[in-house]
Amino acid sequence: MAPLRVLCIHGYRQNGSSFREKTGALRKLLKKQVELVYMSAPHSVQQASSEAPEKENGSGPGPGGDEDPRGWWFSDVQARSFSAQQQCEESLGIEESVSFVREALKAQGPFDGILGFSQGAAFVAMLCSLQEQKLEPEFNFRFAILVAGFPSACKEHQKFYNTSLQIPSLHVFGLEDRVIPDNMSRELLPSFQDPQVLTHPGGHFVPAASAHRQTYQDFLKRFQ
């Protein structure tokens, strides 16, 4: 049985290769079932001491964040920065990111599913909405996995949450997450019909302990 191909969308201040490193345990856990393919966001992020990087190391913060930090959009148009809690009228960069995904699908697709982490998971919810509104003919994901996702606080993004999405979804979040608290992740659940939930006792990372294997496998089994 061929493994399911899953496009992986990293968090803010990460990139495709750093996210690949940080999800090594997940690849190992699901290696018989999925092939994870990584891409980087189009926008470079300037290092600012006031912003907290989306740390996603089970072993605690690494030295100084990722090289070549990237993002899918900025909530502060002037400063070209992003905070999940920042209320804003308009954002910067989302159209380029959608177009980047479209090109990745043409070059590397097809994909069975899509997985996102943190800002990447929020972006995945938007991509699923575009797919269901039939606005992106290239998009044909059969499932979505959203780790530490959240609804965007930007007013221009509210159009992505107008209808409840039918795509099967697994929502994963940590009860000790200090970057995206679990209540923010729960706010995304009503945007999906029949969302499945996997909680873990840890923080801001993609969980891949043996205790989580069954939930991932049961979810993925429906698409094999």
Q: Average the pLDDT over each of 31-40, 79-88, 95-104 and give the range with the smallest value.
A: 79-88
Active-site residue, selected from the candidate residues 18, 40, 91, 118: 118
The domain in which residue 40 lies consists of 4-44+68-222
Domain with residue 200: its CATH number is 3.40.50.1820
77: its two tokens: 């148009």
Could you give the number of structural domains in the chain? 1
Which has the closest alpha carbon to 81: 122, 41, 110, 52? 52
196: in domain: yes
Name residue 106's amino acid: K
Which has the closest alpha carbon to 142: 5, 41, 14, 13? 5
Give the global pTM.
0.91
Is 212 a known active-site residue?
A: no
21: in domain: yes
Is 112 a known active-site residue?
A: no
Query: In angstroms, rounded to a whole number, what is the distance separating the alpha carbons of residues 78 and 88?
Result: 12
51: in domain: no
Q: What is the pLDDT of residue 90?
A: 85
Is 83 a known active-site residue?
A: no
What pLDDT band is residue 66 in, cutting at 50, 70 and 90? low
Res. 27: pLDDT tops 80: yes
Q: What is the pLDDT of residue 1?
A: 75
53: in domain: no
* Average model confidence (pLDDT) across the chain: 90
128: its two tokens: 């699923």
52: in domain: no
Q: What is the pLDDT of residue 99?
A: 95
Res. 52: pLDDT tops 80: no
Active-site residue, selected from the candidate residues 43, 171, 200, 204: 204
181: in domain: yes
8: in domain: yes
81: in domain: yes
Average pLDDT value for residue range 98-123: 96
Active-site residue, selected from the candidate residues 112, 177, 191, 200: 177
